[in-house]
């Protein structure tokens, strides 16, 4: 059950939107914890108490909510972190805990864009059949294995941490953490003579530059649609999350 008079907010994080929300809650002195999955070596420090690592499925998240008397969960994970988002819906239902998602809008195709939309990673891999190309594979480290089925391409990868083993025989790796600028992404893609960009439809501004760079360079984009998630309350901005908290009885102070 929620206890609005004494809120204890759990942010499921790992995105720049979650970081902005953490700042907004910290600025108001609200009692909140930021949760990271622990996928990168040095996660950004947060202005809130931080915990790192999986909860142990729905059951583990239910236990965490109960053990810590969490009153509100805000799922601010990446739109492709579908397992965490599904677990949050299930655990909050089971524990009668208030849940809202901070979900950034999808990117929309604009004039000059050359997108081919595919449903998921598997379809993106299928669409890569054919002669070798220079491909900017901007899908993050977690999904690289699937692309081993199309080893003929020369891949450009941009990763947060230096990878150990790579499943792709012909790959250039750039280690960098966003947000990225349009100018830099145009230069990167031109330098590597990229012919095709593969991107998840993440939305938001931090990873947007590569999409705009592809348009400027006239390059095609294989755009992977978002996974479908269960119905939940969705907020588009940290301010909307604050409104939602206020409506559920949380005193936001000044």
Query: Where along the sequence are the contacts to ligand NAP (CB under 6 A)?
Result: 12-15, 35-37, 39, 54-57, 60-61, 77-78, 80-84, 87, 140, 142, 200
Q: How far is the CB of 77 from ligand NAP (least distance, A)?
A: 3
77 vs 150 by CB, closer to ligand NAP: 77
CA distance 157 to 153: 12
Q: Please say which residue, 78 or 153, places its beta carbon nearer to ligand NAP.
A: 78
Q: Which is nearer to ligand NAP, 78 or 104 (CB)?
A: 78
Handedness of CA 105, 83, 30, 248 (dihedral sign): positive
Nearest to ligand NAP of 80, 180 (CB atom) = 80
Q: How far is the CB of 172 from ligand NAP (least distance, A)?
A: 20
Distance CA 89, CA 113 (A): 35
Taking the alpha carbons of 186, 104, 174, 222 in that order, is the dihedral positive or negative? negative
**Taking the complex as a whole, how short is the minimal distance between the CB of residue 116 and ligand NAP, in angstroms?**
19
Pick 134 or 226: Cβ nearer ligand NAP: 226
CB of 102 to ligand NAP, least distance (A): 11
- Sign, CA dihedral 135-141-147-149, equals positive
Dist CA 111 CA 108 (whole Å): 10
Nearer CB in complex with ligand NAP: 205/252:
205
| CB of residue 60 to ligand NAP, shortest distance in Å | 6
């Amino acid at each position: 059950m929620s206890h609005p008079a004494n809120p204890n907010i759990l942010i499921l994080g790992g995105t720049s939107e979650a970081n902005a929300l953490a700042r907004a809650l910290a600025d108001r002195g609200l009692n909140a914890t930021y949760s990271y999955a622990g996928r990168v070596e040095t996660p950004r420090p947060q202005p809130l108490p931080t915990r790192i690592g999986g909860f142990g499925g729905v059951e583990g998240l239910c236990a965490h909510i109960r053990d810590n008397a969490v009153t509100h969960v805000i799922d601010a994970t990446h739109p492709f972190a579908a397992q965490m988002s599904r677990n949050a819906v299930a655990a909050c239902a089971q524990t009668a805990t208030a849940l809202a998602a901070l979900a950034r809008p999808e990117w929309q195709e604009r004039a000059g864009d050359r997108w081919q939309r595919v449903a998921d990673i598997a379809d993106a891999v299928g669409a890569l059949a054919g002669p070798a190309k220079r491909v900017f594979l901007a899908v993050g480290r977690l999904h690289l294995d699937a692309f081993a089925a199309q080893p003929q391409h020369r891949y450009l990868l941009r990763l947060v941490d230096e990878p150990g083993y790579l499943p792709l025989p012909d790959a250039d790796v750039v280690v960098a953490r966003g947000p990225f600028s349009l100018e830099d992404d145009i230069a990167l893609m031109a330098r590597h003579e990229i012919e095709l960009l593969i991107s998840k439809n993440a939305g938001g501004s931090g990873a947007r530059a590569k999409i705009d760079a592809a348009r400027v360079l006239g390059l095609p984009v294989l755009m992977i649609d978002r996974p479908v998630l269960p119905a939940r309350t969705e907020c588009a901005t940290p301010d909307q999350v604050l409104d939602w908290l206020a409506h559920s009885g949380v005193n936001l102070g000044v």
